[in-house]
A and B are shown apart, each in its own frame.
Chain A
Amino acid sequence: MNRRKFIRETALTAGALMASSVAGAVPAEYPLTILHTNDVHSHLDPFPMDGSRNQGLGGVATRSSLIKDIREEADQVLLLDAGDIFQGTPYFNLYKGEPEIRAMSKMGYDAATMGNHDFDAGIENFANQLQHASFPIVICNYDFTGTPMENNYRPYTIIQKGKQKVGILGVGIELDGLVPANLYGNTVYKNPVESANATVELLRQQQCDFIICLSHLGDKYEEDKVSDEILAKESYDIDLIIGGHTHRFFSQPRKYRNRKGGDVLVNQVGWGGLQLGRLDYIFSSNKRKNLSKAHTVIVTRKTNE
């Protein structure tokens, strides 16, 4: 912990202690910053300087320095990815995802889920590349029994960030018709809404304060196809869905009502590592009896300078 951070946190704790001892005082506030990417598609270098719209943008070296700067100023930071890490530049053709996973580990990703293109060099290759990962792959609606992924994933992970206990699960898209069957092997796709709700129940039982779902379902579709929008509306306790697959650049997170009437936010930051999303949450403390009450979240947006 650096000196600046130490002073701030000490002040915060002291403030919280005082607030709790003085009746009617302003309740203490607890920050949590979530950084995220999706559909980076092997874009390790910035986009080539070819006169196109994205020239010079992206690249892991720039993203890493941006993340480091944010970690310096923010207290509790999570870094997440919503899948399709692989495929899109010759790095992937030559090295099958090794530099992508190593770069994410170096940047300190906390968790990621799997996208359909992560199967592109076969499920065994993805499992093998995870030897370079210092973060877990979370996905709750793929049954990997009897596949090389069997011991290389978790339905969810729980990370303590400051005071808050954060549960992170993942959901993946239907593979049939999207990924050739020989690449995903014996992977069994299960209904993402049912799987997510069952997994979230486990996270609630373990007293998570905040639940994030990493999703490669896609934000929404014209046709009747499961999406982040449907998942958000049919969920009970998911607070935030970090989406992917549809390569949409959201100007700010979309807000939905879950089945309890609470707020669920959904966000997505395009593709290719062109953007990094940053959600600065403020939490308030509550006695446990308030737990089941659906809460609302006020959303604001800082415009880019």
Chain B
Amino acid sequence: MNRNTLLYIFLFFLVSCTTTYQPKSMNYQGYSVSPKIKSDTALTNLLQPYSGEVQRMMQKVIGFTNSNMYRRQPESILGNFMADCMQQMAAVKFGKPVDVGFMNNGGIRAELQKGNITLGNIYELMPFDNMVVIQELKGDVLEQFIHHIAADRGWPISKGSSYVIRSGKAEQIIINGKPLNRDATYVVANSDYIAAGGSNASMLKAIPAENKGYLMRDALVEYIGLMTRQGKPVDGQLENRASIANE
């Protein structure tokens, strides 16, 4: 018996004697990270040099509004402002004309009170990290999408475009000043979430979206910045962009 054989026998015993451990049961508990739990001062101290600056940044005034801006369906001043931002900032970011911009009604998470608008207000308005994307939609697909938002009691649409909701369907659809043409192609700005078929907008799902990683929140901040530099408030008028037909 040579040394190698002995070594193999030794290794065989070593391996065969090794104990392994197998999971046999698991108990789950999901903890809510609740304010009732005490804070760890080590972490509070770690954050302190950063959080002071963050608070100052959140309190920075970036614009103003002369009216309380509420979330309403089918149309609101707040929604109009956000849809205009989608259209105009998409045009700037993607460097091409954008026919129409939309705002997912469920994505408006706060309201703006009359007076100064702070950066913190915009984080509350848009806490998600959704991005502005554009898609090239054939008129018939755009029409399906507008039927969809009409059935959801109306979502904000950008200036120059409008629709009337009758029995949960859209009619008299105007895009960028002209009646919708089913055979035309439109450049449409939406959130990446909606463009990917979110909120049951399944007609958009298969259509490629151009995405430059431009956060809707950043678009809002930049759009307000543009208006403020022109001395304009962010509020506006109700314009019957989305309205419900008298039946």
A interface residue numbers (CB < 8 A to B): 30, 32, 41, 44-46, 48, 50, 52, 56-66, 68, 87-91, 93-95, 98-99, 102-103, 106-107, 117, 120, 163-164, 177-180, 183, 207, 209-210, 223, 239, 249-253, 265, 267, 269, 273-291, 295-302, 304
Let me know if B24 and A65 touch, CB within 8 A.
no
CA distance A48 to B25 in the complex (A): 38
Knowing A48-B124, A56-B35, A90-B54, say if A279 contacts B28 (CB, 8 Å).
yes
Let me know if B30 and A278 touch, CB within 8 A.
yes
How many Å from the CB of B135 to the closest CB on chain A? 12
How many Å from the CB of B168 to the closest CB on chain A? 24
A-B contacts, 27 of them at CB < 8 A, read A44-B47, A48-B124, A60-B43, A61-B43, A65-B39, A65-B40, A66-B31, A66-B33, A87-B129, A91-B50, A93-B57, A94-B57, A103-B47, A106-B42, A106-B43, A117-B129, A180-B212, A207-B20, A280-B29, A281-B25, A284-B21, A284-B24, A297-B23, A299-B28, A300-B25, A300-B28, A304-B31
CA distance A62 to B37 in the complex (A): 6
User: Which residues in B have their C-beta under 8 angstroms from that of A277?
Assistant: 28, 30-31
Candidate in B18, B20, B41, B51 with the most chain A CB atoms within 10 angstroms: B20
CA distance A282 to B28 in the complex (A): 12
CA distance A94 to B205 in the complex (A): 34
CA distance A285 to B127 in the complex (A): 48
Q: Which of B1-56 contact A (CB under 8 A)?
A: 15-35, 37-44, 46-47, 50-51, 53-54
CA distance A103 to B34 in the complex (A): 18
Complex partner residue of B213 from A94, A183, A207, CB under 8 angstroms: A183
B interface residue numbers (CB < 8 A to A): 15-35, 37-44, 46-47, 50-51, 53-54, 57-58, 109-110, 119-120, 123-124, 127-129, 205, 208-209, 211-213
User: Which residues in B have their C-beta under 8 angstroms from that of A273?
Assistant: 33
Let me know if A59 and B33 touch, CB within 8 A.
yes
User: Which residues in B have their C-beta under 8 angstroms from that of A280?
Assistant: 26-29
Let me know if A285 and B20 touch, CB within 8 A.
yes
CA distance A144 to B213 in the complex (A): 21
User: Which residues in B have their C-beta under 8 angstroms from that of A253?
Assistant: 26, 28
How many Å from the CB of B52 to the closest CB on chain A? 11
How many Å from the CB of A246 to the closest CB on chain B? 12
User: Which residues in A have their C-beta under 8 angstroms from that of B30?
Assistant: 249-252, 269, 275-278, 304
Consensus secondary structure, chain B interface: mixed
Let me know if A281 and B129 touch, CB within 8 A.
no
Q: A56-B34, A89-B123 are in contact. List 13 more A-B contacts (CB 8 A).
A: A59-B33, A61-B41, A66-B37, A90-B119, A91-B50, A164-B21, A253-B28, A276-B30, A277-B28, A278-B29, A283-B21, A288-B18, A302-B27
Complex partner residue of A298 from B24, B54, B211, CB under 8 angstroms: B24
User: Which residues in A have their C-beta under 8 angstroms from that of B33?
Assistant: 46, 57-59, 62-63, 66, 273-276
Consensus secondary structure, chain A interface: mixed
CA distance A60 to B30 in the complex (A): 16
Q: Which 5 A-B pairs have the closest CB atoms?
A: A64-B40, A61-B39, A180-B213, A56-B35, A65-B40
CA distance A121 to B12 in the complex (A): 52
Let me know if A275 and B28 touch, CB within 8 A.
no
Knowing A48-B124, A61-B43, A64-B42, say if A276 contacts B28 (CB, 8 Å).
no
Let me know if B32 and A301 touch, CB within 8 A.
no
Complex partner residue of A209 from B17, B21, B53, B212, CB under 8 angstroms: B21
User: Which residues in B have their C-beta under 8 angstroms from that of A252?
Assistant: 28, 30
Let me know if B32 and A287 touch, CB within 8 A.
no
Complex partner residue of A288 from B19, B29, B34, B54, CB under 8 angstroms: B19
User: Which residues in B have their C-beta under 8 angstroms from that of A269?
Assistant: 30
Let me know if B32 and A274 touch, CB within 8 A.
yes
How many Å from the CB of A35 to the closest CB on chain B? 9
User: Which residues in A have their C-beta under 8 angstroms from that of B129?
Assistant: 41, 87-88, 117, 120
Knowing A280-B27, A302-B28, say if A57 contacts B123 (CB, 8 Å).
no
User: Which residues in B have their C-beta under 8 angstroms from that of A65?
Assistant: 37-40
Let me know if A286 and B39 touch, CB within 8 A.
no
Let me know if A290 and B20 touch, CB within 8 A.
yes
User: Which residues in A have their C-beta under 8 angstroms from that of B19?
Assistant: 163, 285-288
CA distance A251 to B32 in the complex (A): 12
User: Which residues in A have their C-beta under 8 angstroms from that of B17?
Assistant: 288
Let me know if A209 and B32 touch, CB within 8 A.
no
Knowing A177-B211, A289-B16, say if A239 contacts B23 (CB, 8 Å).
yes
CA distance A202 to B76 in the complex (A): 58
How many Å from the CB of B12 to the closest CB on chain A? 11
CA distance A65 to B31 in the complex (A): 12
Let me know if A301 and B29 touch, CB within 8 A.
yes
How many Å from the CB of A276 to the closest CB on chain B? 5
Candidate in B24, B35, B57, B124 with the most chain A CB atoms within 10 angstroms: B24
How many Å from the CB of B139 to the closest CB on chain A? 25
CA distance A173 to B34 in the complex (A): 30
User: Which residues in B have their C-beta under 8 angstroms from that of A102?
Assistant: 46
